[in-house]
Each structure stands twice: as C-alpha cells, then as structure tokens.
Amino acid sequence: MTTQIATNVHWHHGQIDRTTRSRILQQTGATLWFTGLSGSGKSTIAVALEACLADMGKLCYRLDGDNIRLGINRNLGFSAADRAENIRRVGEVSKLFVDAGLIVLSSFISPYSADRELVRQLHIDAGFPFLEIFVDCELAEAERRDPKGLYKKARAGEIKNFTGIDDPYEAPTRPEIHLRSDHLTLQQEVDVILAHMKSAGLLGALQQSA
C-alpha cells in the first residue's frame, strides 16, 4: 500500500455529485479494465467497444499504457516498483473518471495480480463499478502477431523486463469477463462485453439508492 504523505488534507465535497453527473449524461460511470499480454488485443477491443458505445451516445474515455506513459507516467519505467506505481496512478485516474460519470476503458498489460487487486479495491471502496476483462491469448499467438515488433526486440535482448519473455504475467483467476481472444472475432468480443454491461445495469443512468 502506498503511504499517505500529506496530512491536513480532507475531501472537499461539492454541491454536484456523481448522481448529478450521471443524470446529465444518462449513463453510469464504470471502469472496464483490460489486462493481457502485449499483442493480445486489449487496445483493439477497447477501440472497437468505444466506437459502439459512442454510437449509443455514451461518453467514454480510453486510458492506454502507451498514452499514459507519454503523459502522467512519463517518469516511470518497467521495474516491478515502477509498474506498480504506473498501475496505481492509472487506477486513481480511472476512479476520477468514473466519479465524473464516464465509462473508462483502461488497457494495460498490468501483469501483477496485486496491482490489479489494488485498483479493484479502490473502486470497491468508493462503490464504483469495476469490470476486469482478461484478454486471454497464448504467448505464441501474441508473439506471432507482434504488432509493434516488441517481442522480436525482447527476444533479441534489446528490451528488458518484457512481460511473457523475461517478466511474468499473472493471469486473473476470477475476472468478470474472460475473452479467449485467439478463438473469438472482434465483434464477438465486443458483443460479450456489451451483454455483460447490459446485465450489470451499466448502460443506463445510475440507479438511485432508496
């Protein structure tokens, strides 16, 4: 657990809350967390899902390992400690976006169970919906695709700490959605997620508690 440094800080409640924003948007904020090997299809699925949700008038935002590492996490590398801090910060950003009312599509290799559990717990503690989506792809298939040429570089020793090669990937044991990305079409993957979101009540406005 990251230590809280600053003291004398207290949450400043506004007059406008998550319920108000949900009403403006007519949707329920949620984090959809895509985890899987590089090349497993996380970002591709997130991009396709985002397009479907936008067609339905939903406001989404994608957070992506590469995008975030060029911005807020530009000062982090790929050691276990930096990976943990990378995921922690993204988890906090995702939570802010859910509080703002958006459907967040976060695509990160996020290879360590403990890091993913921390993000899940952040959401549970706040009462925010969180779906872990395991984009499950055999290493051999991900390496065959190698869309960014990264496996080739990792095998050549040009990239160190590469997940699946010289760094572990701890597969989720109880993800909300388990996609066998080497057995499904992109459309099928999107449909599975949309069906799950619908049954979880995540496609309409936030339900008021009684």
Q: What are the catalytic residues? A: 110
Of the pair 89, 196, the CB lying nearest a copy of itself is at 89
Question: Which tokens sit at 9?
Answer: 């800080």
Of the pair 59, 80, the CB lying nearest a copy of itself is at 59
Bridge partners (DSSP) listed for residue 177: 133
CB of 99: closest distance to a copy of itself in angstroms?
A: 8
CB of 174: closest distance to a copy of itself in angstroms?
A: 25
208: left (phi over 0), alpha (psi -120 to 50) or beta: beta
Residues found near a copy of itself in the complex (CB under 8 A):
2-6, 8-12, 14-16, 20-21, 24-25, 43, 46-47, 50-51, 54, 57-67, 69-78, 82, 85, 89, 92-93, 95-97, 99-102, 148, 150, 153, 159
Of the pair 89, 178, the CB lying nearest a copy of itself is at 89
Question: Which tokens sit at 194?
Answer: 């949309």
Residue 71 near residue 63 (C-beta atoms within 8 A): no
CB of 201: closest distance to a copy of itself in angstroms?
A: 21
CB of 186: closest distance to a copy of itself in angstroms?
A: 13
Residue 175 CB neighbour total at 10 angstroms: 19
User: Under 8 Å CB-to-CB from 101, ≥6 apart: which residues?
Assistant: 18, 21, 22, 24, 25, 27, 28, 29, 59
Residue 195 near residue 203 (C-beta atoms within 8 A): no
CB of 169: closest distance to a copy of itself in angstroms?
A: 18
Distances (CA, A) of 180 to 30, 85, 169: 23, 28, 16
Cα–Cα nearest to 60, from 199, 200, 197, 208:
197
